[in-house]
Each structure stands twice: as structure tokens, then as C-alpha cells.
Structure 1
Amino acid sequence: MASSPTHRTALSAAARADALREALATRVVVADGAMGTMLQAQDPTLDDFQQLEGCNEILNLTRPDIVTSVHDAYFAVGVDCVETNTFGANHAALGEYDIPERVFELSEAGARVARESADRFTVETGQQRWVLGSMGPGTKLPTLGHAPYTTLRDAYQRNAEGMIAGGADALLVETTQDLLQTKASVIGARRALEATGANLPVIVSVTVETTGTMLLGSEIGAALTALEPLGIDMIGLNCATGPAEMSEHLRHLARHSRVPISCMPNAGLPALGKDGAHYPLTASELADAQEGFVREYGLSLVGGCCGTTPEHLRQVVERVRGAVPGERDPRPEPGAASLYQTVPLGHL
């Protein structure tokens, strides 16, 4: 029997995190889809952006109603969790607007807005809803010397501390393109958890381009070898491509990852037209792909990225509701990784 809404609202932050871990271990959890395009579709004004046009994180403070409407649209179609509007709440991205000192403020506000939406839907439906704290990649690649690793790491710690304060149930390091930047995010998240005494899952989602590697040339095996020892709770893929291009990378993770796997693809590869980029994958096609991935690769967390809409996620929810991840028999290969590839220790 489902817990009553009253019981659901009584859950502490620690209990919510434990419940999320339990859900990820026993069934398929569904996250939301694209956010930026839905925010922009509501045509926020320059005043809404505090004259910082395009800085979506500012809307957490000036127009929480717009941000809430996006979260609500995804919760309304049945997703289990939404990502905070904090993708750019990091040193590199906010630094381009000359407001890097606002990392904590905007992170806390983004998590609080999402928390309020999640709690309201928990009450209304009796189904526990969660908040994933989005930690985006920023615009600086430390491997290429764009910014010091320690500067990025410490800012990611403030990013994570803000989202913990705002009520996030997990920290999602997403859309990562540079393994050193990914490490900065994960270590920053870990430091925030230690500093606050929180115990939230840390999820990492890397971005593999159509070239078959991350932006700087890292293969998925190198990412797994480099990141799994950092104590992450889950690893997966998001952005850059549609599900078809992710299949072989997910296959590698399914065979070798000790931790659960996630996948949040774009709605296919974008096609450029006179009105800009168009993502061609239909809602039923995304649902087909995610259902197949759950069965074949044992995914625990699914969702969408660029070009996906509430309708895409509604059909994913319908397709995987009640499903459990397919059986996996991972055979981890201890190895060493360079930036580019992993080499099993037995081959050295």
C-alpha cells in the first residue's frame, strides 16, 4: 500500500536520500527532460535576467514561477525526479557574467524551487518525488589550461553546498566533457557532503560526442576507470547524441561498471533548419529506446536531454513504469587510464 501524503511530507532529507537509493536499486527511476528551451519559450525579459541575458539561473530568484512551471510540467506526466535549474551555477559559467560570487546563492535558490515543486506533487499524489542537483560542466576545460583545477573544484563545492541547503536529494555531475573537470566536480561534491554532514548519492553523466569519445578524446572506458574509484554512486551518459549513438558506450558500462547506469539522450541528432535546430526523435521512439536500454543494459535511471519534452517523458514513464533494471553480470577490469583510454592491468 502506498504511503499516505502526510507520511511522505514527514520524510527528512536523509530519509529522502535513502528512499532514492532504494528506488534506484529496485526499479527504474525516471528523470525529466530539457529545461533551457522550456524556460526560453516563456520569453523572460531582460529585467527577469537582471540584465544578464541568457543566465537562466537568475530566474530561480526573479521568476521562480517560470522555473516551477517547468518542474511541474514534468512531474505532471509522472517522472520521479527533476533536475534543478543550476546547470550554469558554477565558477566558469557565472564568471562569464562577472558574478562568480553568486554560485551558492543561485544553487540554493534553484534547489529550493525544485524542492517546493517535488514536495507539492508528493503531497498531491502520495508518490515520493525527488530533486537531482544539476552540476553542469561550465565553459572552461582545465586539461587545456582554461582554469585552475582547484578554482573549479572549490566553486563546485559551493555549488553543491548551495543545493544541499536548498533540499536536493542527489548531486548530478552532468554533461561532462573533460575528465579533469569531472573530477573537480565530483571532489567538490564530496567535500560539500563532508562539510555539511549530508549523505546524498553522487551521479556522474558524461557526454560522448558523435566521434565516439568525450570532447577531449576520452573513451568511455577511460571515463569509467578514472571516475569509479572516486566513490560515485552511478555513471551514465547524457547530451550530444540520441540513443542510437549511445548504445555501444552503454554496452561497455553494462559489462564493466560496478555501479548502476543512467542514460539521458537528446531527442536524436539535431537537424538545422531555417528556424534553428530541430530534434527529430519522437516521443514513442525515445520510449522505445529507453525501454530497450533498460532491458538490455540494466539501466536504473532514465530521462531526456536536449529536445525532449514532457510528452517524451510521459511516454517513457508509461513504458518503464514498474520495470526493474535488466540483469547485469559486470566483469570489472582493473586498469589504468590515460586521458584517452584505459589499459587493463593484465595487459601492462
Structure 2
Amino acid sequence: MTIREQLDALSAERILLLDGAMGTMIQKFNLSEADFRGNEFLHHTKPLSGCNDILCITKPAVIASIHQAYLRAGSDIIETNSFNANAISLADYDLQDRAYEINVAAARVARESADRYSTGAKPRFVAGILGPTSKTASISPDVNDPGARSVTWDELEAAYYDSARGLLDGGADILMIETIFDTLNAKAAISAIQKLLDERCSADPEGAAAGRYDVPLMISGTIVDAAGRTLSGQTVEAFCVSVMHGKPWSIGLNCSLGAERLYPHVAALSEIAPVLVSAHPNAGLPNRFGQYDESAQTMAGHIETFLKDGLVNIVGGCCGSTPAHIAEIARIAANYKPRKIPEELASGAAAKTVLSGLEPLVVDPAVGFIDVGERTNVAGSRKFLRLIKEERYDEALSIAREMVEAGASIIDVCMDDALLDAPRAMQKFLNLALADPEIARVPVMVDSSRWEAIE
């Protein structure tokens, strides 16, 4: 059986267990700067304390002991210690050139631990973790310039590609894009993974036919407030719509509010997800010292409501959770059946065209026509063309805002004019538009005859 076939069979029988926090457990070891450096980074020019990912190289026994504690607690799937092991985040430590190597090491440590505890009756799996990076593609780093961005799509895609390559080369069974606060970052990760797997299938047709590169993808977002929106402003439903093209094995939520407050958002996701649903929340909310006080029994009790109501297929913990938390969740989860994907969702019988901005848009004949706002098309609006030529973007944005207020469900944006630099104008206008929640709540129809403008 392939990894996907094994996971599908197990997830149909029972609720699967993830592990808990890695950082929380690392803190318990009180590691010094010398511990982080080891011999490998003894003469590195920057301080490395806090760069947990390099411990896979300098202190692999520490990381292995944490993995094995979670495996003894009952975890079916352990997560690699690679949350920040990407070139963008590692640049803070001047380690961006070591990203691939660190990811290989992270996967190998986890692989060895999983293999040690895996049995025929209870196989164990390794999820290669791809964190959100330290930068966001959708939000400006400068409050005075909402159109500015600190990272490009190409930079994100390249970083995720290198990290995913290392995780798979080190032995990961699954790839998990987690703690997603900006869906555009996640889309870059999805694109990188698809590119990597397509390349490997082309280079090894026999392996592809055997399912070697059919790597299950887990996607897990994080919300920042009780309203249930990501940092970039999307609702849970819009987030789900935005990543379904990646054909995930599961979609879920992690970190953020703690299990008790996360419940309604997991429930909303469970209603619409045509795939498995996961949840690995924090152990409550942090106290004024940044510590998590929620006990294993309390956290597991909150998660039990997810299980009673049939909302999830996969559960675990995030910040503040420990092997004790996972053991208690495992004990309770054994009493419940996994969520059943609604037949109409699983079969696609109820499939409709669904688009998203910050909010979802269902294209349904029963609703009637969908209004597309065309006044942000330079070919159809002389006023809009003039404003773009004169770089009066604030006034150009007001046209988009007025269309949405008047009932437009989608806005069409076109910059195809001989006197415009269409790719530049498109990027600048969309960056600004996506920073305005009144405009960004609806989907954008990118309209151009030039591929470079569409890209």
C-alpha cells in the first residue's frame, strides 16, 4: 500500500493523533548558545539561540527524545522540527543557505523515531512541516505604504521548494503547510510542492506509477480573533475555498485561540470541507507571562466536544501542549468515530463554482446572475485609464470600492493599454486593493491578454 492508501484506511477507522508543541518541549531543556551552535556552527557570526530548527543538526538527540515522547503518548503522525527551516526565516540568523540541509536533518530525526515505534498494528508517519515564514505576501510592512510588500511570490515559492525537497529527501511521508496566516504564502507553498512533485514524476515514471510521489498534503490555517479570520482577513470558509486547488488530504486549523474558542470555526470548516478535517489548537490562551496553563485534562475536555459532534478526523496540540496533553487526547479520542465527509461533498454531487476574496462567493444558478464590476478596466473606462496613467491610485481605488458597495460580486481589473506598463500597474493596483477590506472581500477577475500581467 502507498502512504496515502495506508492513511486513508486508518483515517476511515479511527481519529488520528498528531503530536503537540515542539518549542514548548525544547524550552524545558534550557539549552545554551553553545548547545545551539554545536561544533557545526561554532564560529558562526550571529547568535543562534532560539533557532530551534538547527537543533536537528547540533542536538539531534534532544529533538529525537521529544518525538519519541509524543510517540509513546500515542501520536500517529509526528511533525518535523522545521517550522522556520526556510530561507526567508533563516535569513534572520544568516543561515538561509543551509535551509535544505536543515530540512533533511529534521526529517531524518523524525523518520528514525517514527520507525522505532512503528508496528504493523500501529504504523507511525512523519509530516514534514512547512511554516508560514517570517514575511507575508499580502500585507504591507509599512503602514504608510499599503502597496508595499516585503517578499515576492517567486521568493516564497523558491524557499518552499527547497524546504519541501529537503523534507522529502529526509524521509517525510506527508507535507503539512501549517499556521497559515496569509493564504497567498500558502498558495506559493502549494505551487512549490506541485512543481517539485511534477519534476520527480517526470524524472522517475516507474516511481510515479507506483505512487512514490503521491505525497499527502495537509493544510492548516490559523485565525487571529473570535471573528474567525486569518491575519490577512479571510474567513475560514474563504480560506478553504482558496486552497482546495492544491488537492489536500486534509484541511484544518491550528494554534490561535485554544480548543474551547476554536470550536465554532472548526465546526464551520467541517460543514464545507470535502476532505478530512484536522485541529491542533494551543493549550488555551497564554497568560501574562506568555505561558500556557491549560492542563491536559482541560484541553482534552474541550477537544472532546469536537469529537462528540463528529467535526474532525485528525487532532493534536500546538503551543503549550505536551506529551501529557496528547496522551489524554488519545485516551478520549479512542471512544469516538472520525468525522464522515458528507456524501454530497465527497462525491462532488453538490459541487458549485466557488470563488473567494476575503469572503466566499458561490456561483449558483438559483441565485441568478453574478454582477462583475467592469469600471476598473482601462479598456472600458476612460476615467480609470486616466487615473492609472497619472498614478492617482487612491482615486482609482475609490472606483473599485464604489462598485462593490453598489453590489458587484466580482471586480474585473485590466491594465492592457499601449501607454501603460501593464504588469507593474496591475501589481501596484492589486496590492493596494487587497489592502482595502471593502474591496478585497470580493474576488478579483484578472483580465489581460498578456501573460506577464496575469502572472
> 2:35 maps to which residue?
48
Bigger CA drift: 177-186 or 50-59?
50-59
Residue 247 of structure 1 deviates from its aligned partner by 1.6
CA distance in structure 2 between the partners assigned to 1:292 and 1:284 by the alignment: 13
In the alignment, what sits opposite 1:231?
Answer: 247
- 1:146 and 1:140 map into 2 onto residues whose CA distance is 7
Q: Output the TM-score relative to the length of structure 1.
A: 0.90
- Could you tell me the TM-score, scaled by structure 2's length? 0.69
Can you list the C-alpha shifts for 1:245-272, whole angstroms capped at 9, x where unaligned?
2122112211111111000010111111
Q: CA deviation at 1:332?
A: 5.7
Larger relative contact order (CA 8 Å, sep ≥ 6): 1
Query: Match for residue 131 of structure 1?
Result: 126
Q: Does 1:200 align with 2:215?
A: yes
Using the alignment, how far apart are the partners of 1:345 and 1:291 within structure 2? 36
Correspondence list, 1:41-190, <5 A:
41-50=28-37, 51-122=47-118, 127-144=122-139, 145-190=149-194
Helix, strand or coil at the partner of 1:143: coil
SS of 2:317's partner is: coil
CA distance in 2, matches of 1:327, 1:107: 34
Q: Which of structures 1 and 2 has the bigger CA Rg? A: 2
Q: CA deviation at 1:28?
A: 0.7
C-alpha distance after superposition, 1:181-204 (max 9, x if no partner): 011112212222223342110000
Match of 1:209 among 220, 224, 239: 224
1:24 aligns with 2:11: yes
Q: How does 1:316-327 map to 2 (within 5 A)?
A: 316-321=329-334, 323-327=336-340
Contact 1:183 1:227 in 2 (8 A): yes
What secondary structure, in the 3-state scheme, does the structure 2 residue paired with 1:271 have? coil
**2:355 is aligned with 1:336:** yes
Q: 1 CA distance for matches of 2:318 and 2:268?
A: 21
Q: What letter corresponds to residue 30 of structure 2 in structure 1?
A: D
Segments of 5+ residues of structure 2 without an aligned counterpart are 38-46, 140-148, 202-212, 371-455
Give the deviation of 1:27 after TM superposition.
1.8
Structure 2 counterpart of 1:57, one-letter code:
D
AA partner of residue 185 (structure 1):
A
1:287 and 2:305 are equivalent in the alignment:
no
Residue pair 2:278, 2:314 contacting (<8 A) in 1 also: yes
Maintained 8 Å contact 1:258/1:332: no
Q: Distance in 2 between matches of 1:94 and 1:191?
A: 23
Q: Deviations over 1:98-151 (max 9, x none)?
A: 22121111001000000000001115x852111111110111001131201111
Q: Is the counterpart of residue 219 in structure 1 residue 235 in structure 2?
A: yes
Moved more, 29-38 or 192-201: 192-201
Which of 310, 335, 341 aligns to 2:323? It is 310
8 Å Cα contact 1:135/1:171 also seen in 2: yes
- Worse overlay, 154-163 or 184-193: 184-193
- For residues 166 and 12 of structure 2, what CA distance do their matches in structure 1 show? 27
Write the distance in 2 (CA, Å) between the matches of 1:236 and 1:326.
Answer: 13
Which one of the candidate residues 34, 37, 50 is aligned to 2:21? 34
Give the superposition deviation at 1:295: 3.2
Residue 268 of structure 2, aligned match among 245, 252, 255? 252
1:278 partner SS: coil
| Alpha carbons 1:297, 1:328 under 8 Å: kept | no
- The residue that corresponds to 1:5 in the other structure is none
Q: Indicate how the Cα distance of structure 1 residues 29 and 133 shifts in structure 2: closer, same or farther if over 3 A, else same.
A: same
User: 4+ residue runs of structure 1 moved beyond 4 angstroms?
Assistant: 330-333
Instruction: Report if the CA contact (8 A) 1:298-1:328 is conserved.
Output: no
Distance 2:161 2:310 in 1: 32
Deviations 1:187-222 (A, max 9, x none): 212222223342110000000112421011111111
8 Å CA contact retained: 1:170, 1:200 = yes
Give the residue type in structure 2 aligned to 1:43.
N
In 2: Cα distance, 1:194 partner to 1:48 partner: 39
Q: What secondary structure does 1:304 align onto?
A: coil
Query: Which consecutive unaligned segments of at least 5 residues does structure 1 have?
Result: 1-13
Q: Give the superposition deviation at 1:345.
A: 1.3
Two-structure CA RMSD over aligned residues (Å): 1.8
Task: Provide the secondary structure at the position in 2 that maps to 1:236.
Answer: strand
Task: Identify if the C-alpha distance between structure 1 residues 239 and 118 changes in structure 2 by more than 3 Å, giving closer, same or farther.
Answer: same
Separation in 2 of the partners of 1:96 and 1:113?
24
2:174 matches 1:191: no
Shifted more, 15-24 versus 96-105: the winner is 15-24
